[in-house]
Amino acid sequence: SNLQLRHVEGVVTVAAPPHAKGVTLGEPLSSDDALDPHHLRLVVPSHQFSQNALIPSPDKYLEMYKRSIEDPAGFWSDIASQFFWKQPWNAYSVFSENLDVRNGPVHIQWFKGGSTNISYNCLDRIVESGYGDKIALFWEANDPGVGATSLTYNQLLSRVCQLANYLKHIGVKKGDAVVVYLPMLMELPITMLACARIGAVHSVVFAGFSAESLAQRIVDCKPKVVITCNAVKRGSKTIHLKDIVDGALLQSAQNGDVVPKYPTHCEVEWVDAEDPLFLLYTSGSTGKPKGVLHTTGGYMVYTATTFKYAFDYKPTDIYWCTADCGWITGHSYVTYGPLLNGASVIIYEGAPNYPDSGRCWDIVDKYKYVTRYSRESLRILGSVGEPINPSAWRWFYNVVGDSRCPISDTWWQTETGGFMITPLPGAWPQKPGSATFPFFGVQPVIVDEKGVELEGECSGYLCVKNSWPGAFRTLYGDHERYETTYFKPFPGYYFTGDGCSRDKDGYHWLTGRVDDVINVSGHRIGTAEVESALVSHPKCAEAAVVGVEHEVKGQAIYAFVTLVEGVPYSEELRKSLVLTVREQIGAFAAPDRIHWAPGLPKTRSGKIMRRILRKIASRQLNELGDTSTLADPSIVDQLIALADS
């Protein structure tokens, strides 16, 4: 069944779009679908898939969604009661919020007065309910066939307690910050859980960052301790992390194998639901990274619930999220969300293309089947971080998932704590490239530049009305920047910084960052739309577009294009790429300039840094801005060198 979902004053209505053509899970999407600019092609869950899903139908979703919006206190209290609370929260004010700067300081609180511990809920609670011998973590080493290991929930609890005892012994107390600079070892989630256990606030810094970037974060959050390891292998390289930390601290940190001596039992420090759990910096795609603060209770309830429904979690699943714990995805969907559900999680130390690009599928099969790369065990696929364009979606669906697995394209942010707009795989038909509908309790609104809410089919600035439990509570040490960045642009709403359009069936399409929107002769064009059109060309591997000043049009589109390996640049190809955009979107969106790119500048979490591309496009090479989160700075030089070719 196809659904149309509209918010009308908090009420949700459904209607079937008459034009919808479906492909049922199990059938491939054909290449004709590449030329489906109106997104008529739906991918419909099979009857069997839906029947076994936690949310089996649009009606069930709508029933739950409606309640989550009309009675958020009741909806979230019922879910929160499934966790362990030493003291219950104040039943008369499950949450309190002010998102409107005109009414005083912005504040968000959930389950205030409730006392709990997320580490207890991830570990002790699972052990006590009889699953102590279930595998909590599988660890897969960088080098295939070397050193793979696992920990049961019982064992993980012991390891967490040992480290917690050690941290207490060296003087770490409730509320102290602990910087964690570790690669994807089991010690990384262990450290996060050990901090949480004693009420310390962890701040994980992605282990690919330089001494300078690490030092900046240390200066910002003033930790009592920095936890690292001597070295890590990533791909064929060995990276000496401890040396980098020493460089950052300019003094030697405590060293040695001390932790195993500590007792395997550690009393839990009960904390208030609103006590801070962690501090984490955003990816730095649009500027200097922001130190996002999340608290305990609401984050716990929200990550657990989004994990459960977006991935239709079944206790027999083995779950793998390839994100690094240095990013929010690794916090919410490697560590907390899955463990709160008692899931078995794979942690992979290395790079996805080491020793070759089959490694991911090798790992998938290893944990289920023996045949090389059958991927038969896959049930659901996920995606996050950037808009997944329809071409990539089709590849993921047809090739990786054998046209069998729904894709949860999850839109969210470091700030939101958990998924905000995401498919619930058994509930509704998907459209390749759309993040679909809001999660329970989330009210996305699309506003125009004056902040007026738009209805029906529309395009504009993506905001969120009202709080949700996983929302961040402040930017660490800078509540003013928190209000200015997120709540002042459109008073009364949380402003996401992203553009979004809603189609006539109510599906949401993320169009890119609003700072990146290009205005050609009065047409506002999102980056995602043009990039999707470019990559639908069979010879285009990746594309990023930016606006440059234009005398007549105001702005013109400037496209950086990476070609499929082995394809040479040519004038003919340039024309054919421009033609593809003209045909799919219209002449107004046709790029004026194609800049051949051997690669694109990306953050260390893999996001395209269009602000740097804008500077290259306009040849403002002395104003590249904060480049500390750039994964490979040499790409920038290569692009500059190719600028006039």
Catalytic residues: 515
Of 570, 582, 505, which is closest to residue 539 (Cα–Cα)? 570
Minimum CB distance to ligand ATP smaller for 164 or for 205: 205
Site string for ligand ATP, 607-626 (x = CB under 6 A): x-------------------
440 near ligand ATP, judged by CB under 6 A = no
444 near ligand ATP, judged by CB under 6 A = no
Minimum CB distance to ligand ATP smaller for 223 or for 387: 387
303 near ligand ATP, judged by CB under 6 A = no
Whether the bond into 355 is cis, omega within 30 of 0:
yes
Q: Find the binding residues for ligand ATP in span 457-516 (CB under 6 A).
A: 496-498, 510, 513
Minimum CB distance to ligand ATP smaller for 344 or for 414: 414
Q: Is 582 helix (H, G, I), strand (E, B) or coil?
A: helix
Minimum CB distance to ligand ATP smaller for 201 or for 420: 420
Given a contact cutoff of 8 angstroms between Cβ atoms, the answer to whether 347 and 324 are in contact is no
Q: Which one of Mg ion, ligand ATP, none interacts with residue 532, CB within 5 to 8 A by kind? A: none
Q: How far is the CB of 79 from ligand ATP (least distance, A)?
A: 23
Residue number with the smallest Cβ distance to Mg ion? 282
DSSP for 435-492 reads -BSBPTT-EEEEE-TT-PBP-SSEEEEEEEES--TT---EETT-HHHHIIIIISSSTT
284 near ligand ATP, judged by CB under 6 A = yes
Of the ranges 6-14, 281-289, 534-542, 583-591, which one interacts with Mg ion (CB under 5 A)? 281-289
Q: Find the binding residues for ligand ATP in span 327-366 (CB under 6 A).
A: 328
Q: How far is the CB of 601 from Mg ion (least distance, A)?
A: 17
409 near ligand ATP, judged by CB under 6 A = yes
Q: Which one of ligand ATP, Mg ion, none interacts with residue 289, CB within 5 to 8 A by kind? A: ligand ATP
526 near ligand ATP, judged by CB under 6 A = no
- CB burial readout 62-87, b (16+ within 10 A) else e: bebbeebbeebeebbbebbeebebee
Quote the CA–CA distance of 390 and 135 in Å, as a whole number.
Answer: 36
Tokens of 398: 């047809």
Q: Which one of Mg ion, ligand ATP, none interacts with residue 384, CB within 5 to 8 A by kind? A: ligand ATP
- Rounded to the nearest 10°, the torsion over CA 21, 27, 32, 35 is 60
Minimum CB distance to ligand ATP smaller for 167 or for 514: 514
- Bridge partners (DSSP) of residue 411 are 421
Q: How far is the CB of 497 from ligand ATP (least distance, A)?
A: 6
CA distances from 441 to 3, 70, 444, 464 (A): 19, 9, 10, 11
Which residue in the set 167, 188, 339, 384 belongs to the binding site for ligand ATP (CB under 6 A)? 384
435 near ligand ATP, judged by CB under 6 A = yes
Quote the CA–CA distance of 216 and 513 in Å, as a whole number.
Answer: 26
Size of the site for ligand ATP (CB under 6 A): 27
Of the ranges 147-155, 269-277, 384-392, 567-575, which one interacts with ligand ATP (CB under 6 A)? 384-392
Within 10 Å of residue 552's Cβ, how many Cβ atoms?
Answer: 7
Enclosing H/E stretch for 280: strand 276-281
Quote the CA–CA distance of 468 and 440 in Å, as a whole number.
Answer: 9
Minimum CB distance to Mg ion smaller for 285 or for 295: 285
Half-sphere exposure of 400 (CA within 13 A, CB side): 22
CA pseudo-torsion sign 454, 106, 77, 331: positive
Of 492, 378, 511, 377, which is closest to residue 443 (Cα–Cα)? 492
Site string for Mg ion, 282-301 (x = CB under 5 A): x-------------------
Q: Contact positions toward ligand ATP, by CB under 6 A?
A: 282-287, 289-290, 328, 384-387, 409-414, 435, 496-498, 510, 513, 605, 607
Q: Contact positions toward Mg ion, by CB under 5 A?
A: 282
